[in-house]
Structure 1
Amino acid sequence: MATKRILADKDFGRIIVRTHRSARNITMRIKQDGLHVTVPPYSLSSKVLEVVEQFRGRLVEDWKKVGKKPIDLDFRIQTPCFRLWLEKGGFTCFSLHTTEEGIKIVCPRDVDFSKDEVQRLVRNAIIRAMKRCAQEYLPPLLATLSEHYNLPFKRVKITGSKGRWGSCSATGSINLSCYLMLLPPHLMDYVLLHELSHTKEMNHGPRFWELLDGMTEGRAHTLRAELRGFNTDF
């Protein structure tokens, strides 16, 4: 069974390390969200970093070709449930403005998008925008699905988690990531139904999948596989 850990890195942002029992050697691959490394079982993080250092020069060159492009005034997010864009304004800080078309981020008049600090600030503004939209959109949708399928929950909280779409506690409290706003509606529904299923079946045993299949026309595993391949990087 594969396991995953994430190591911070100055060049790649993060190194995503996956342990796989069939792996015999350490393999590395650059993707837009970081450096992906597959390792044999029981490989130490120190060993992984040692191997990365041996090839860092070449990996950094590859990273420059596929790494994230800086966010600037041409940046757009347009999904069925979330729309966002940037505009330059007369303020000295980033601010969010909700309109009928979506959310616009008004940038400082002298903004320099080439600076790392500016990229950090604008990315934080995008996450704040997603949280604002998710807070308005997701709880009512969750409540509707809960009532329709008779799967009550206790409370819902919107988080900024990027590594986990959602979670459900033993007391019926559900956490939902604001990154759900980037998903197509059918995958968003799947995540919400997945967490609601945990209010009745806390594990991922046969009864859990039977329950979830009953609400997704027998497509629970297919939807899970599609969700795993969805990239939420912006």
Structure 2
Amino acid sequence: MLRERAAPRESAGARRRRTPGLRREELATLCGISVTWYTWIEQGRAPQVSADTLARLADVLAVTDAERRYLWEAAGLAPQRAHRRTPRVSPAIASVLERIASPAYCLGRYWDALAWNKEAEALFPDWLGSQGQERNLLRFMFCIPAARDFVVDWPQRARRLVAEFSADAGDLAGEGQYEELVADLGRQSAEFRAYWQRREVSFRDPAVKTFRHPVLGLAVYEQTTFASLVERDLKLVVLCARPGP
């Protein structure tokens, strides 16, 4: 039980406890709720638990990200992203990137490229290469002129990208970095502003992407996106070259 893992806050000289963890009375006090209400929560009898109460409970119990996610889903609430740390690319994921022979990269919560392999750097020189000015995928697509020539059928791909981001960021509303990104993109790009106002949503399904590469010429890839079970806001995108005719 999570309560048994929590360390009690005892004064010096207090007698050693027979059972580990916090008592219900202590946990309720730390969370600022009644013992009865906490007992109902623990027993699954509470009719509706607020996000604020769950946040205090999760903080006192020092739960893991996976446990926090479970708490919110069990209560029928949207995951509380504000308490999640910035997603990181673990050594294991970095190793996977290196071993993938096709272009592959990891996107974070706001679609910043957090890591990529050398194949992706070669495919996207103006984004992931040393001369790249923007690591954010949306900023690259809408604010870097070279992207319009590089991405074949740019208007359709750009519109689809905005719809995918809109679906992916459905619970980011109110977060400062998210609001700043959307507002800045709207100021810099009339196309982004128009697409965003459409309020279209679309999942990142497997899709065929065609690029006009300075060395490869027309390069066609099949894109697949994988989600991490550990780092919920992390995505691994892999592009496999499509066989020629």
- Greater helix proportion: 2
**What TM-score, normalized to structure 2?**
0.24
Larger RCO, structures 1/2 (Cα 8 Å, 6+ apart): 2
